[in-house]
Every structure is written in C-alpha cells, then in structure tokens.
Structure 1
Amino acid sequence: MAVTWKLVVDCADPIRLAGFWAQALGYVLEDHSALIDRLLGAGAIGEDDWVLVNGHKALRHAAAVRHPDDPFEEATGTGLGRRLLFLTVPEPKQGKNRLHIDLHFGPENRDAEVEHLKGLGATVLNTVDEHGSRHVTMADPEGNEFDVQ
C-alpha cells in the first residue's frame, strides 16, 4: 500500500517561508482559518498563537502550501496531496541539507526562473555542470538548498 506523506521543513519563520515556496512552486497557501477557530473554541490555542495573513488566519508556528489541483479538507484547510509544511523550531539551520527539492523548469527556462526566484528572496549558491547535467543550486530565504534544472 502506498503511503500518504508531506514534506516538513523546520524553520524560524513559517509564514514567510510558506509565502516564498507558494510563489516558487505555483502552490497555494493553506487557509487554516476554520482550524484556528476550532482550536480557539476548544481552548487549545490562544489569541497570541495566530495572525492575519492576506485576510486569513494563520498559525504563528506552522504554515503550509499545497498544489492547487490537489484535494483538501474544507473543515481545516489542510491539503491532502502534494504539500509542504513549515514548522517553527528554536535552533537555526546548521550545515548542508541532506534532502532537497529539485525544480524542473527545463534548460530554456532555467535562467529566467533563477532570476524570478532571486526576486522572491532566494540566493544562488553554485552553478553545477557535470555528469551531463546542468543546474543551479540556490537557497531559500532561510538558507535551505534547492536545485533549479
């Protein structure tokens, strides 16, 4: 049986990082307003645990993006398909990622997409041309590496 999964990214500012990756991937920010209302009503979170982002309630410690064509739970706003979840952790990133995302735009679009991603706050770390492949290694606003192919 295949397993349902999501990629979880530890970070300092989940709302900022979710915004970056939503734009980088063409994904949508998950709207957790209904979930937050339910958690507030149950006393599980307080008023200081959420903020308004683009008119929607967002948890300060967690934010997520999902593919726009994938299903989601209307009661929580949680994606049920391709999804990235960003969670606040107290420690900063240390060292190189052991897991990273490759963004495939094609050689004809790579340079334009690198410039687009730089405009969103990413930085170029390296251009790699080896083993018959060429890609640009970049870092998101918190230093998480990813490749643009």
Structure 2
Amino acid sequence: MARDVQITIDCADPAALAAFWAEALGYRLQDPPEGFESWEQALDAMGVPPENRNDASAVLDPEGSGPRVFFQRVPEGKQAKNRMHLDVRAAPGVEDEARMAALESEAERLVSLGATRLERHEPAPPLGSGHIVMTDPEGNEFCLD
C-alpha cells in the first residue's frame, strides 16, 4: 500500500523558510484551522504564547498531488551537508541548451528570493542532463533539475 509523504525541514525561522519554499515550489502556505480567519486568531484561541508562534509552518501543493512540506524550529543550526535533498524539477521535458537556459532563469528567480547558487553541472550524456546546485535561505542544499 502506498503511503502519503510529508517532507520535514528543521530550521531557525519556519515562517520565512515556508514562504521561500512556497514560492520556489509553486505551493501555498497552509490555511489556518477551520473556523479561523488567520493563524494569529487560531494560535490565540489555542493559547500559544507569542514566543512559540513561529515554531512551525507548512506549505501545500495547491493541486493536492505533491507532498506537504513542514518546517519546524530547532535550536541548533545546520551542521553539515544534507544527507537528503530536494530536486526541484524546473525544466521537465526540456533538453540541451534550452534546458540549461530554463534552469539558469529559475536559479536567478530563486536567488532573488534568498537562495544561493553553488555550482552548475553541465550535461553529461547519456545519463546526465545537467543541473544547478543551490541552497535555500538557511543553507539547505537542493538541485534545480
């Protein structure tokens, strides 16, 4: 039986990182619980103190087919290279120089949102079609693929 998957990312600022990834993935921030017009209103009703209001955030695929991405605040910073990373499929079905041009364009957009570009890997046929390695605003590696 197939299982639903949630991707969980440890971070220092869940609200800011959720906003970045919502833009990067074409996702949206998760709505507050039913009956509340805002998260502030919901957190007030739940008795969550102000210092804990940025402990978590989540983004959702607006079409409902992709996994939920959950961001949780942790006290420690990133220590080493990710053992797992996201591949953001920014140019599916596009080949050769057109593919790399599309990846470059997306890399520029993400840099304007706070990402950092690390390195470009050129296409290496027959298996490698080229990609760009980046980090999100908190230094988590991901690839534009």
Q: Which residue of 2 aligns with 1:32?
A: 32
| TM superposition shift of 1:32 | 2.3
* Residues 58-117 of structure 1 deviation map (CA, whole Å, 9 limit, x = unaligned): xx100000000118xxxxxxxxx6210000000000110011111112214111101000
> Could you tell me which of 109, 117, 132 is aligned with 1:136?
132
| TM superposition shift of 1:3 | 1.3
Partners of 2:42 and 2:23 in 1: how far apart?
28
Partners of 1:47 and 1:92 in 2: how far apart?
22
TM-score where L is the length of structure 2 = 0.79
How many residue pairs end up in the alignment?
130
Contact 2:32 2:42 in 1 (8 A): no
Q: Which amino acid aligns with 2:143?
A: D
Q: Does 1:62 align with 2:47?
A: no
Q: Which piece of structure 1 moves more, 32-41 or 93-102?
A: 32-41
* Residues 29-64 of structure 1 deviation map (CA, whole Å, 9 limit, x = unaligned): 112254775665454x234433xxxxxxxxx10000
Q: Does 1:98 align with 2:83?
A: yes
Unpaired runs of at least 5, structure 1 = 51-59, 72-80
Q: Which residue of 2 aligns with 1:49?
A: 52
**Structural RMSD (CA):** 2.1
Q: Which piece of structure 1 moves more, 32-41 or 121-130?
A: 32-41
Q: Which amino acid aligns with 2:14?
A: P
Q: Which residue of 1 aligns with 2:7?
A: 7
Residues 39/110 of structure 1: CA separation in 2 closer, same or farther (3 Å cut): closer
Partners of 2:119 and 2:129 in 1: how far apart?
14
Q: Secondary structure at the match of 1:63?
A: strand
Partners of 2:75 and 2:21 in 1: how far apart?
21
Bigger share in strand: 1
